[in-house]
A and B are shown apart, each in its own frame.
Chain A
């Protein structure tokens, strides 16, 4: 008999978790399921979600990316810096930001694939570098200390807006990007290669797929996601400071893992990550409704991440055992 795929079971588990969480918060709080709250949650999710799209690609190849949030912060600051200190046109500034995003991705790809440094350490280091650049570019007042810059450009500010039904633009962009990336993963050559590389690097390479090329592609996509996130972040905040985006990486990675991607690679997709981001956001928002302090929130969300990690590790181990065991028993039955 054919077994249900690990992914399918995992998808069901995360969907059930999402529904249960929503149900709990709906019944225990008054404001959770209001339209306003939903719109806000979807906006907050979108920023984490856009970064998570990039990270999911990296994780499927068997890697990781801790620098996504810092890259976003850096791109915001590139924008603010050019906006404040130069008289470049908006288009030119945006193009430079796009370039910054792509280059940050290519640099990650270079460090991971050509210098062959472990993805965690590599992207931690590049994250530090991006953060350093953010500080260097930061806007300073006449006394030389860092201030935040108000961005008054209406075009950029309009990115923070919403449709008449209350849904923010960024939410739609997140949704569209998720669908496009899902399409890329499932329907294109490069998507197939991304899975192949993460699932069995050796045989992928025997089939003529280049490790360096695939790593470059996923990190450049992640860089592009940081760029998109940065533009909408500017639109939403109307300003940026040196800490913008710093917390996003961890949230996005956690969401990706909760969504079913596995660090050893080859598993996970954008839909899973989408669900993962929603789970994280529902949790965050729901907990907020209980009137908890930020300290309590970060404790709770951290513990939930740990529990998810432990659950995932246990679950993968269990599935592995189950598969070998089932194969052995099948052998036993058919053997004689």
Chain B
């Protein structure tokens, strides 16, 4: 490649991020395969709309992964917050002040749930994966309890109507909320002391502690952010659907986790970016949407997502010297040469 092209700023961004190239290729491929149906305004907005929800969750869950843990309760927190918001509005009647109370309670539940997880996980050496798997069940149990296992319709709540229905400049409000969350996470991770400490603790907790970093506090805060963002996503989801249910957002955590991993955030903590994770969400969103458009049945989606996670991590692992895959590739290259 010639030097001029290499120094072009657009090319620089592309070369630095293989996932962006994959995303663009996917967009082109699906556009061609659907003879343009993919690349219509309406469909692109659909993708944005669908991804926005995962995006909000990712901006929280990424903190847990970066600090060296994992948080599978984003879905449970979303369901809980949706249910709490809906129930508060229902029991208190509709009115401006009560909506504020509802939102406060809903998001507060998420933050509280994050606080509890953070307290346990920063203190004890428990696999975060298993703990949050179990507590997610608890959260859904609480949601069933709160909602009485009924679908709850939220009507006549002006704010939620507005979030769910209105578009600014042709783009749905949840997309703006996602953008705001991404900006928030980006700033925290890149421009604050706390963000620096997150990466440091995720990369080497012992050395960070010996440098005076309050690792336990940092882990605690990461889970609070994760819980809060999950709850925010739940509120947005309830606004989109004008309802809350006891199965709301169920299994979303798998997609969130998949996006984070596909987006290049290391499961071992300490490396990865929020941009990457969001890009991962778009990759998965685009693949899902594209597959639907070209007529791949939705039942294949779970399977393909599973394969994508395995493929994404394998590619990362293949670059680690000493791993079997890396050895294999080296042998293969030698044979070829």
A and B touch in the complex (CB under 8 A): yes
Task: Tell me if A166 is interfacial: C-beta within 8 Å of chain B.
Answer: no
The answer to whether A309 touches B134, judged by C-beta atoms less than 8 angstroms apart, is yes
Contact (Cβ within 8 A) B145 A250: no
B124 touches A310 (CB 8 A): yes
Q: Which of B124, B142, B313, B323 contacts A313 (CB 8 A)?
A: B124
Select from chain B the residue with minimum beta-carbon distance to A128: B306
Q: A7 on the interface (CB 8 Å rule)?
A: no
Does B137 contact A314, Cβ atoms closer than 8 Å? Answer: no
Q: Is the CB of B310 within 8 A of A125?
A: yes
Q: For residue A67, which residue of chain B has the nearest CB?
A: B306
Question: Which of B120-142 touch A at CB < 8 Å?
Answer: 120, 124-127, 129-131, 133-135, 137-138, 140-142
Judged by a CB distance under 8 angstroms, whether B261 is at the interface is yes
Complex contact A115–B124 (CB within 8 A): no
- Is the CB of B293 closer than 8 A to any CB of chain A? no
Q: Which of A120, A127, A132, A314 contacts B129 (CB 8 A)?
A: A120
Chain A residues contacting B145 (CB-CB under 8 Å) are: 293, 295-296, 299
Cβ contacts B45-88/A at 8 Å (1 or 0 each): 00000000000000000000000000000000000000000000
Q: For B111, list chain A residues within 8 Å (CB).
A: none
Shortest C-beta distance, B85 to chain A (Å), equals: 19
**Is B305 positioned at the interface, with any CB of A under 8 Å from its CB?**
yes
Q: Which residues of B lie under 8 Å from residue A298 when comparing CB positions? A: 137-138, 140-141, 144
Q: Given the known A-B contacts A124-B254, A128-B306, are A295 and B141 also in contact in the complex, defined by CB atoms under 8 Å? A: yes
Determine whether A150 belongs to the interface, using a CB cutoff of 8 Å to chain B: no
> Which residues of A are found within 8 Å of B267, using beta-carbon distances?
118, 121
Say which residue of A132, A250, A310 sits within 8 Å of B126 (CB atoms): A310
The residues of A that contact B325 with a CB separation of less than 8 Å are: 114-116
Contact B149 A317 (CB under 8 A): no
Q: Report if B207 contacts A (CB, 8 A).
A: no
Instruction: State which size class the interface on A falls in.
Output: 35 or more
How many Å from the CB of B207 to the closest CB on chain A?
21
Mark each residue of chain A from 97 to 135: 1 if its CB lies under 8 Å from any CB of chain B, else 0.
000000000000001011111101110111111011101
The CA of A254 and the CA of B302, in the complex, are separated in Å by 25
0/1 per residue, A282-314, Cβ < 8 Å to B? 000000000001111111011101100110111
Residues from chain B with a CB closer than 8 A to the CB of A138 are 299
Cα–Cα distance between A187 and B299 once the two chains are bound (Å): 44
Residues on A with beta carbons closer than 8 Å to the beta carbon of B130: 64, 120, 253, 257, 263, 309
A250 to B132, CA, bound (A): 11
Considering the complex, give the chain A residue whose CB is closest to the CB of B297.
Answer: A136
Q: Known: A306-B135, A310-B120. Contact between A117 and B302, CB under 8 A?
A: no
- How many angstroms from the CA of A133 to the CA of B129 in the assembled complex? 24
The one of A125, A250, A253 in contact with B306, judged by C-beta atoms closer than 8 angstroms, is A125
Nearest CB to that of B137 among chain A residues? A302
Contact A299 B138 (CB under 8 A): yes
Is B305 in contact with A128, judged by CB distance below 8 angstroms?
Answer: yes
B190 to chain A, nearest CB (A): 26
A127 CB to nearest chain B CB (Å): 7
Which one of B133, B144, B306 has the highest number of Cβ atoms from chain A below 10 Å of its Cβ? B306
A-side contacts of B310, CB under 8 Å: 111, 115, 117, 122, 125-126
- Once bound together, how far apart are the Cα atoms of A295 and B142, in whole Å? 7
Contact of B125 among A113, A117, A135, A317 (CB under 8 A): A317
Q: A313: shortest Cβ distance to chain B, in Å?
A: 4
Q: Does B301 contact A (CB under 8 A)?
A: yes
B138 A306 Cβ-Cβ under 8 A: yes
Do residues B314 and A131 form an inter-chain contact, with CB atoms below 8 A?
A: no
Instruction: Tell me whether A117 and B124 are in contact in the complex, defined as CB-CB below 8 angstroms, given that A136-B303, A302-B135, A309-B131 are known contacts.
Output: no
Give the residues in chain A near B304, CB-CB below 8 Å: 132
Say how far A93's CB is from chain B's closest CB, in angstroms.
22
User: Which of A114, A298, A302 has the most chain B CB atoms closer than 10 A to its own CB?
Assistant: A302
Kindly list chain B residues whose C-beta atoms are within 8 Å of the C-beta of A135.
299-300, 302-303
User: Looking at the complex, which one of A66, A111, A299 makes contact with B141 (CB distance below 8 Å)?
Assistant: A299
* Complex interface residues of chain B between 135 and 164 (CB less than 8 A to chain A): 135, 137-138, 140-145, 149
A22-64 toward B: CB 8 Å interface, digit per residue (1/0)?
0000000000000000000000000000000000000000001
CB-based contact B134/A136 at 8 Å: no
Bound-state CA distance A301–B325 (Å) is: 40
Give the chain A neighbours of B302 by CB distance below 8 A: 128-129, 131-132, 135
Q: How far is the CA of A312 from the CA of B323 in the complex (A)?
A: 32
Q: Bound state CA distance, A310 and B144, in angstroms?
A: 25
Interchain CB contact (< 8 A) of A121 among B131, B143, B309, B324: B309
Asked if B303 contacts A313 (CB within 8 A), the reply is no
Given A128-B254, A136-B300, verify A295-B137 contact (CB < 8 Å): no
Q: Is B1 an interface residue (CB 8 A)?
A: no
Residue A133 contacts which of B133, B303, B317 (CB distance < 8 angstroms)?
B303
CB distance from B292 to the nearest CB of A (A): 15
Chain A residue at smallest Cβ distance from B301: A132
Q: Which residues of chain B are near A131, meaning CB under 8 Å? A: 302-303
Q: Is A327 located at the chain interface by the 8 A CB criterion?
A: no
Complex interface: chain B residues within 8 A of A314 (CB):
124
Residue B307 CB within 8 A of the other chain: yes
Given contacts A115-B317, A129-B303, A309-B131, contact A121 B138 (CB under 8 A): no
Contacts of A116 in B (CB 8 A): 317, 320, 323-325
> Is A319 interfacial (CB-CB < 8 Å)?
no
**A295 touching B323 by the CB < 8 A rule?**
no
The answer to the question of A212 belonging to the interface, with a C-beta cut-off of 8 Å to chain B, is yes
Asked if B324 contacts A313 (CB within 8 A), the reply is no
Distance, CA A312 to CA B144, complexed state (A): 29
How far is A306 from B124 in the complex, measured between Cα atoms in Å? Answer: 12
CB-nearest residue of chain B relative to A253? Answer: B130
**5 CB < 8 A contacts A-B:** A113-B324, A121-B129, A135-B302, A257-B130, A295-B246
Which 4 pairs from chain A and chain B are nearest by CB? A132-B303, A302-B138, A128-B306, A295-B144
Binding site for B on A (CB under 8 A): 64, 66, 111, 113-118, 120-122, 124-129, 131-133, 135-136, 138, 212, 250, 253-254, 257, 263, 293-299, 301-303, 305-306, 309-310, 312-314, 316-317
